Amino acid sequence: MQDRPTYGELLAAVQRFLETDVVPVLEGPKKFHARVAANVLAIVQRELHSAEAQLRAEWQRLDALLGAVEPAPVASADMERRTRERTAELCSRIRHGDADADPWRAAVVAHVRQTVVDKLAVANPKYLGAELATAVGAAEPVAGDPP
């Protein structure tokens, strides 16, 4: 682990450079691609900031939905892999018709909705709208996010 600059500071510095020094002097497709690159850096910053907490929350929701409390893996790669597997199990149960009636249906809808909100909070918080983005902690401007 490095002290300073942190990964967030490095990403923000490159993002600011792209937005303030590169984008203004470019035209056409190169300008567009520079904006895309700056946006990618903003997404990476948001993901690094929130990925662990979002994954743990999703894990807990899956515990409740699947009715099987499973200890969360320690390694993040294992946690991501097992979350995908558990999500596939949930999808199978949905396809089988298990979510066709309440109360499980309501719990599944709430889980899916929260999972989508979490993903949008990383990928594009503007899609959430200002009020919801603030509620999920995604309204904090990341360097380079347009106002």
Tens of pLDDT, residue by residue over 119-128, are 998 998 888 8
Q: For the chain, how are helix, strand and coil distributed in percent, rounded to 5?
A: 75, 0, 25
Residue 131 pLDDT exceeds 70: no
- Spatial separation of the C-alpha atoms in residues 144 and 147, rounded to whole Å: 9
Question: Above pLDDT 70, what percent of the chain?
Answer: 87
Round the average pLDDT of the chain to a whole number and report it. Answer: 88
Q: Residue 145 corresponds to which tokens in the numbers above?
A: 């996010």
Please tell me the pTM assigned to this model. Answer: 0.77
Question: According to the model, what pLDDT value does residue 38 have?
Answer: 94
pLDDT bin (cut points 50, 70, 90) of residue 138 is low
pLDDT bin (cut points 50, 70, 90) of residue 145 is very low
Question: According to the model, what pLDDT value does residue 137 have?
Answer: 59
The residue-averaged pLDDT of 88-113 equals 95
Whether residue 94 contacts residue 107, with contact meaning beta carbons closer than 8 Å, is answered with no
What sign does the dihedral 57-61-66-70 (CA atoms) show?
Answer: positive
Question: pLDDT per residue over 38-78, tens digit each?
Answer: 999 999 999 999 999 999 999 999 999 999 888 999 999 99
Q: Residue 67 corresponds to which tokens in the numbers above?
A: 């009715």
- Spatial separation of the C-alpha atoms in residues 32 and 18, rounded to whole Å: 11
